[in-house]
Amino acid sequence: MKCKKCGNKAVIKLRAHRIALCREDFLSFVLNRVQQTIKRYKLFVAKERVVVAVSGGKDSLTLFDILQRLGYPVEGFHIDLGIDGFSNRAREAVEVFFAKREAPLHIRFLREEVGAGMREIASQVRRPLCSLCGLMRRYIMNRFAWEKRFSALATGHNLDDEGAALLGNLMRWQIGYLARQAPVLPAIYPRLAKKAKPLALLSEREVLAYCILRAIEYHDEQCPYAKGATSRSNKEALNLLEYYSPGSKIRFYQEFLKHQGIFPDSASHDLRECSMCGFLTNRETCQFCEILEQYTGSPVPVRDSETGKG
């Protein structure tokens, strides 16, 4: 198979785009795709301070690599979740990656933030571990981005992630989530950095191919608590459609974005500051503070981000 652009030997066939590409042209294709996503959806501009949330997996490390190559002044942020063994190996992969690039990296330890690892918290709080983990990570990332005055928080969500989330939200008709699912979530509140997903138009296979071709050593280990996640079956379903009808995933997502306005975003109108930590919530107390309260058994004094006082 020949590269459609230069005629050299192709290394990958992209059926959704009806092209096969050689190594160099595929790497350029990926960079262009991400740059287009950033511009089309106004994720951020070159002057903005962007922090990339890095788990150590292929998506987040690939995202950092791409943004750096595109010339954005990015920094990395990793949360050590305190899951025995797994978290250590993830953190090591991140540290090696950033050391090689001499790029700025910030690490927060869940044990230092809240006094316990994810498993210990989950054992005390009545909530599924994955949901708990997602909630706590989002909170810590948002808070970090605010404390360090980053204007955008970029995550490695790819097209498969976005498609699976969209399918899940449609299956349950979660109108609020449908209204807010996008490659960029604007900073609707002073203490909140905007969220950006620059890989939203790249499939998981394209991201993996980029990672392999760049020899990025990522943490390729599944979280021990992630078995049976619904998102995986949604991804499988979409990839089956993609197999029979190439381009289905990208059409599904992009057409949704075009028509997203039909879903009313009522949740954004009810937002207020958490009575304990001051962060954005639609309740009296945010879920993060509620969880900490459940875990410790007493109200948790949360330090003020601006003054640093406890």
Q: Which residues bind another protein (CB under 8 A)?
A: 1, 10-13, 15, 20, 23, 89, 160, 203-205, 208-209, 212-213, 215, 217, 219-222, 227, 232, 235-236, 239-240, 242-243
Which one, 164 or 193, has the nearer CB to another protein?
164
Report how far residue 304's alpha carbon sits from residue 193's, in angstroms, rounded to the nearest whole number: 17
Query: Which of 7, 35, 15, 11 shows the shortest CA–CA distance to 23?
Result: 11
Give the shortest CB-249-to-another protein separation in angstroms: 8
- Enclosing H/E stretch for 280: strand 280-281
Among 45, 95, 100, 40, which residue's Cα sits nearest to residue 67? 45
Q: Which two tokens stand for residue 165?
A: 């989330």
Q: Closer to another protein at the Cβ: 218 or 295?
A: 218
Residue 166 to residue 172: CA distance in whole angstroms? 10
Cβ neighbour number for residue 224 with a 10 Å cutoff: 12
Q: Which is nearer to another protein, 220 or 306 (by Cβ)? A: 220
Give least dist CB 227 to another protein, A. 8
Q: Taking the complex as a whole, how short is the minimal distance between the CB of residue 72 and another protein, in angstroms?
A: 26
Q: How far is the CB of 223 from another protein (least distance, A)?
A: 10
Query: Toward another protein, which CB reaches closer, 203 or 281?
Result: 203
Residue 212 CB, shortest distance to another protein, in Å, is 6
Task: Report residue 86 as tokens.
Answer: 């797994």
Tell me which residue of 293, 297, 249, 298 sits closest to 274, measured CA to CA: 293
| Residues comprising the chain, all counted | 310
Provide φ and ψ at 185, rounded to 5°: -115, 115
Nearer to another protein, 136 or 250 (CB): 250
